[in-house]
Amino acid sequence: MPANRFNNFTSYGVGIGLRAPHYHHILSRKPVVDWFEIISENYMIDGGRPLRILDQILDQYRVVQHGVSMYFGSAENLNRDHLRRLKTLVKRTKTPWLSDHLCWGSVDGRYTHDLLPMPYTFEAAQRTAQKIREVRDFVEVPVVVENVSSYAEYHVSEMTEWEFLNEVVERADCGILLDVNNIYVSSQNHTFDPMDYVNNVPADRVAQIHIAGHSKYRKYILDTHDHPVIDPVWRLYARAIERVGHTATLLEWDDSIPSFEEVHNEALKANRFLSGAALKKAG
Amino acid sequence: MNLLALQRRMARAVMTPLTPGENMRRKTADGRSMHRVAASFIKPNDRLTSFERLEIYNRQYWWRVLSAFGEDFPGVRAVLGDRRFEALAKAYISDCPSRSFTLRNLGSRLPEWLRRHSGFAGSRHALTLDMARLEWADIEAFDGAAEPALSAQDLAEANAARVRLRLQPYISLLALRYPVDDLLLNVRKEEDTAFASNAFVQRKKRKHVSAVARLRPAPIFLAVHRHDESVYFRRLDREEFEILQGLHHGETLGRAVEAAMRRSSMPLADRPEMVQHWFRAWASLGWFCRSAARRQAKKSSAA
């Protein structure tokens, strides 16, 4: 049973990101993994080894695409070449849904390759929602948007981040990839209660959840995806699952990547909370 | 401030080069106070000023693009040394920021840029340019498109006077002044070595410097290609290179061979056998595909 209308993939349990250092282990040992998330841009190429490996993975595993540079929130128009390549990859992977970030990163055709924070304005929400709809109409799969971690806020903002997220997803009528680590990072950098964020996200739109680790500096926290998940983030995850129900969950580990087993075992800790959600439902 | 104006202001600040100490500059390119610019659109908090919050993004941008550029051009770094390479990387990225959704294409304009900016490489300009061309060709060969290769039968049936063969899109043909292929392979071999103590890194640097110092101009012709999903550098004879280049430019096979042999010192009697030998090797590597026009015609007749 789907937990909500954007979450038709309850059978997707706990996945991990597909990363090059694990290719050999996965292809030779064939570990049992619910699903892999790929960074779309790594495979939006014309040929060569990355696509051959992806095809081998697709033969054996379920794969979901996650993008990092669609930049729904950039004021400029969508990049048509990007869209065409994305659609080609969607046909290859048969991804059941497609995610990218609620952020911007390019202007006047120049790319920062960063996930830059949005100004939380109605103008930005309208423009962003319009672009999400355009992408969904073009690629013809459900699109879900992920909240990013941020280190700066703008004077022009007219609402909180979660209010902005709600505004965008309502206007675009799309799902949410709720990254609870990003919520935690931003809450520390901007001094708000992360539980307020989790409690105010529309539960009926959460299609997927991200968990990850981060790095703490003296005056701020950086979203580095290079550590295990900390307890406060697990608590946010537990609350999210309590509100949303059983939801496809993915651990991101992108830097100082340890062994496959270590990453997978860290991800599987999420099952403690997912099983609880299943039991509650059954009861 | 509307969305576009805010994004332009932020992007301009984020893409401004860092100071030598890797901090955000205190002045913008047009001489304004960066503190004031930051404060005009970014809120401070109880721990960080607007300037410091913007600086996080400024640093992240430069560390990310410099790291990606360094990974793509280890050979250019070996030729120039760390300090000159970093100066070149910062100047290049400032002039040619990414215009692609993927960092894979960040270095696509480096060879062209180097031709216009010889000062960064000084006396090693020609060597640096050769290395940059080779490393960009390597990226193209790694994940470039592959068309269905022509079969041995297709090739046997081809009429040399009329047939126009196309090279696989992932292949680059390079005429280089230095044997940079060997140098790059050595650089990579050293980088693959599993450990990196400080002493080892220093030894590695000395090895690079002496290898570069010893490298004398010695023109080579190279095909950078892919076989079984691995990239290879294949040295070519001059005539072989010219035939392939002729084909690449759309010449018929007959004309390409004729033009390549015009300046050749190869004995006339040896030529047919040599051309056949090259042809067999190219065909076995799957280098040929049908020309786009021919492919379209075949598709239409099949329909």
Q: Which of B1, B50, B226 sits opposite A156 (nearest CB)?
A: B1
3-state secondary structure of B275: helix
The predicted pLDDT at position B194 comes to 41
Q: Model ipTM?
A: 0.94
Q: Does B226 contact chain A (CB < 8 Å)?
A: yes
B56/A114 CB distance under 8 A: no
The predicted pLDDT at position B205 comes to 63
Closest-CA residue in chain B for A78?
B101
Q: Does B7 contact chain A (CB < 8 Å)?
A: yes
Mapping DSSP onto H, E and C, the string for B105-168 reads HCCCCHHHHHHHCHHHCHHHHHHHHHHHHHHHHHHHHHHCCCCCCCCHHHHHCCCCCCCCEEEC
Closest-CA residue in chain A for B98?
A111
Residues of chain B contacting residue A46, judged by C-beta atoms under 8 Å apart: 143-146, 169-170
Sheet holding B230-236, edge to edge: B172-176, B220-227, B230-236
Mapping DSSP onto H, E and C, the string for chain A reads CCCECCECCCCCCEEEECCHHHHHHHHHHCCCCCCEEEEHHHHCCCCCHHHHHHHHHHHHCCEEEECCCCCCCCCCCCCHHHHHHHHHHHHHHCCCCEEEECCEEEECCEEEEEEECCCCCHHHHHHHHHHHHHHHHHHCCCEEEECCCCCCCECCCCCCHHHHHHHHHHHHCCEEEEEHHHHHHHHHHHCCCHHHHHHHCCHHHEEEEEEECCEECCCCEECCCCCCCCHHHHHHHHHHHHHHCCCEEEEECCCCCCCHHHHHHHHHCCHHHHHHHHHHHHC
The predicted pLDDT at position B209 comes to 64
The predicted pLDDT at position A5 comes to 77
Q: Which of A46, A114, A119 sits opposite B143 (nearest CB)?
A: A46
Which residues, given as ranges, of chain A have pLDDT below 70? 1-4, 9-10, 278-283
Q: Which of A45, A110, A151 sits opposite B11 (nearest CB)?
A: A110
Q: Quote the CA–CA distance of B282 and B292 in Å, as a whole number.
A: 19
The predicted pLDDT at position B113 comes to 98
The predicted pLDDT at position A155 comes to 98
Residue of A44, A81, A113 for testing the chain B interface, max B β-carbons within 10 Å: A113
CA separation (Å) from A97 to A6, A271, B3? 9, 22, 28
Domain limits of chain B? 1-71, 148-177+221-303
The predicted pLDDT at position B207 comes to 67
Residues A245/A281, Cβ–Cβ less than 8 Å: yes
Cβ pairs A/B, distance under 8 A: 126
The predicted pLDDT at position B295 comes to 53
A123/B99 CB distance under 8 A: no
pLDDT digits (tens, 9 = 90+) for B171-214: 999 999 999 999 999 999 887 764 445 555 556 665 666 677 67
Q: Does A124 contact chain B (CB < 8 Å)?
A: yes
Percent of chain B with pLDDT over 70: 89
Which residues, given as ranges, of chain B have pLDDT below 50? 194-196, 299-303
CA separation (Å) from B172 to A19, A106, A215, B134, B281? 29, 31, 42, 9, 17
- What size, in residues, is chain A? 283
Q: Does A50 contact chain B (CB < 8 Å)?
A: yes
Q: Does B66 contact chain A (CB < 8 Å)?
A: no
